[in-house]
Structure 1
């Protein structure tokens, strides 16, 4: 008679425990400090993503210092007029451009491969990146506002509801741009090609989204294209915070359209999360 050996029970996947979730969060939060320090050690990143909007605000404010913008009775200076667009552009640069290039470089130089062999999970890695963008984006926005106020005497809004609008536009915008940056990082085939792929996309979006040029003067077909992307709505949301209410008549529909700003940006956030979930790998499959 032969004895029958017991068969091993099939492996059962277990959901993440609360303790495991806390560990992921703790590792992600601890990585934020590392990501922020690494960011400010890269001179090119600091200039082209952190200081770039400040530089352009200075250029526009000085170049058009003798001009005013807006309807009669509600004119504002050039610095006040361009401040909202620079704030929105800062979200795109700090989030999308910075992360797309940074992660592509980390994948190319083997950093992601090494991280993939550590206990660090992609979720903790993303928390670190999102935290870095939130910190640097907040510092950048504070610097832009400080320059506008101290150097050019721009008056800030006093209504609490306007600052509440600024808070949700900023937080939603910085999160969406960061997620899109992570998703976009999968396109460049190497770190060296990342800037050539990412920067033209970011630059074109700034020109067609009302950052450098008044949105209403663009051809209608170009306005329609820009309206598909979140930057147009983030810039419009920022204008609703810092410009007089009379400026709403210059928008495409004559209003600030906060509901559409929320809807379009949330749609891009959800779509970006789906793309990141489907495409992010520590190592490129074709690498």
Structure 2
């Protein structure tokens, strides 16, 4: 209980620090919101996406890109934010200093996860509110849809967070963290149906994207916010929420194992 209390206090501290960093706010917190606004305005004159030959069906660009931006936000908040943040703290000696304090490792991670969830939930709320009130996007009215969204979000967020912790070991220094992590995250967004309609990608690239968790997070969020007819554009022709849960569950286990195996307060080579 003491470790939990310390962790929650640490989460409040981490959240305050997060909102004091202008670059982090721009490229992690505001980036999906900015991209949703750009896509919604830029493609507003192109007509609805997914319209049938008879002119029926389809959704506005804002409605189409909303689930993708939510999925991107989950990846940015978990993978990019934690991978860069922890790598920088290792490089500037913060982890070394923390190792000399009574702070339990579990409290450190509770603090990181608390910050990630607090900022990500606020980001998702803002995305949904902007889409609904600024671009007139209809939101789900079914309790089942919102229940699906909650478990997809929580599982996707936890999975992204542990993968971010594991990836923090990849950069050789804190200074190189951004240059190493951001390209990985950016490529995943382009091949996972965030910026491009997933069915537009060649089959081999869809298969590659299916190996990684973002594709499944984006597919899950699309199942919540897009009409049922869009399921035909997914691999296999349906939303496959069971596959979403299995894929994210596997990646969560992989992420936890990798984080436990690689995380150290101090690099072995320093």
Classify the TM-score, shorter chain: over 0.9
Give the 5 Å matches for 1:189-268. 189-268=172-251
Aligned partner of 1:68 among 48, 55, 58: 48
Cα shift at 1:222: 0.6
**Aligned-residue RMSD, C-alpha:** 0.7
Cα shift at 1:71: 4.0
Does 2:24 align with 1:41?
no
The equivalent of 1:187 in structure 2 is 170
Give the 5 Å matches for 1:136-175. 136-175=119-158
Cα shift at 1:101: 0.4
> How many residue pairs get matched?
266
Cα shift at 1:30: 1.2
Cα shift at 1:74: 2.2
Does 2:89 align with 1:106?
yes
The equivalent of 2:10 in structure 1 is 31
5+ long unaligned stretches in structure 1: 1-21
Does the 8 A contact of 1:116 with 1:282 survive in 2?
Answer: yes
Does the 8 A contact of 2:63 with 2:137 survive in 1?
Answer: yes
Does the 8 A contact of 2:82 with 2:164 survive in 1?
Answer: yes
Distance 1:172 1:30 in 2: 24
Larger Rg: 1
Deviations 1:160-200 (A, max 9, x none): 00000110011111111011101000111111100111000
Distance 2:237 2:208 in 1: 19
Distance 2:170 2:203 in 1: 30
The equivalent of 1:116 in structure 2 is 99
Does the 8 A contact of 1:71 with 1:246 survive in 2?
Answer: no
5+ long unaligned stretches in structure 2: none
Does the 8 A contact of 1:88 with 1:231 survive in 2?
Answer: yes
Does the 8 A contact of 2:51 with 2:59 survive in 1?
Answer: no
The equivalent of 1:4 in structure 2 is none
The equivalent of 1:83 in structure 2 is 66
Does the 8 A contact of 1:207 with 1:213 survive in 2?
Answer: yes
Cα shift at 1:257: 0.5
**TM, length-normalised to structure 1:** 0.91
Does 2:30 align with 1:51?
yes
Large movers: runs of 4+ above 6 Å: none
Please give the secondary structure, in 2, of the residue aligned with 1:216. Answer: helix
Distance 1:241 1:143 in 2: 17
